Amino acid sequence: MKTRIKIKSEENSMSQKKINKVLRFSLLSLLLFSVLFVSSTVAFAHCDTMDGPVIADAKKAITENNVNYVLKWVRTQDEAEIKEAFNLSMKVRVLSPEAKELSDKYFFETLVRVHRNGEGVPFTGVKPSGTPIDEKILAADKSIELRNLSPLKDLMPKDKMPELTKRFNKVMSLRNFNVNNVEAGRKYIEAYVQFFHFAEGEEEGHDAHAH
């Protein structure tokens, strides 16, 4: 009897150890996921928020009934999916106010998801208006709006300014493209993304569709 009790006690002890191990692993996994999620949100908040440039172009596309406003944000092989989502949204949104809201949301989420996949980054949803954005990103946006780098000068190390200026000038040189010239738009976005990544502190920058 004592032997059985001892064995059962040992089994219970081992079971508890397994439970504790699983709990610790689960907590660590949850913590890691949280860190990665927050990092992704901070690093890429610019293009997947309702206040960002991708959604701004999506709204223009809807207003002008011209999908070319957004095709520059996706790879050539992804155009068909975006066109299909756009056409479906345009057909449905006229049915009712509720249909308009749902169809626009569907189009926004499809566009951002495909754009993010093209960058090799997981889609975590479209962040609402008012989502905090890094001050360097806001300053970079303001620089493009003002056509000069004054908003960024106090935020960037002086030794980085020559390269930043080079990238900024390339963005400016490509900015005035015809909206219906999608390839010209993609060249602009490539320069735009490289400028923003450098402004954020990434030395090499990234091609928007290299992945």
Residue 168 maps to a domain: yes
Q: 106 lies in a domain?
A: yes
Quick check: is 107 in a domain? yes
Residue 120 CA to residue 44 CA, distance in Å, equals: 12
SS3 127: strand
State the CB neighbour count (10 A cutoff) for residue 128.
Answer: 9
Reduced to 3 states (helix: H, G, I; strand: E, B; else coil), residue 89 is helix
Same domain, 14 and 69: no
Q: What is the pLDDT of residues 177-204, one digit of tens each?
A: 999 999 999 999 999 999 998 998 865 4
Out of 92, 118, 144, a domain closes at 118
User: Buried (b) or exposed (e) across 173-211, using 16+ Cβ within 10 A?
Assistant: ebeebebeebeebbbbbbbbbbbbbbbbeeeebbebbee
More confident residue, 167 or 3: 167
pLDDT at 2 over 80: no
Q: What is the pLDDT of residues 22-46, one digit of tens each?
A: 334 433 333 333 333 333 344 344 7
pLDDT mean over 161-165: 96
The pTM of this model reads: 0.73
> Are the C-beta atoms of residues 82 and 71 closer than 8 Å to each other?
yes
Domain end position, chosen among 69, 92, 118 = 118
Residue 2: strand, helix, or coil: helix
**Residue 5 forms part of a structural domain:** yes
pLDDT of residue 203: 55
- Decide if 208 is inside a domain: no
Q: How many alpha carbons lie under 13 Å from residue 33 in its C-beta half-sphere?
A: 7
Domain total of the chain: 3
Q: 95-153: per-residue pLDDT in tens?
A: 999 999 999 999 999 999 999 999 888 898 999 999 888 899 999 999 999 999 999 99
Same domain, 70 and 32: no
Range of the domain at 61: 53-118
Residue 210 lies in a domain: no
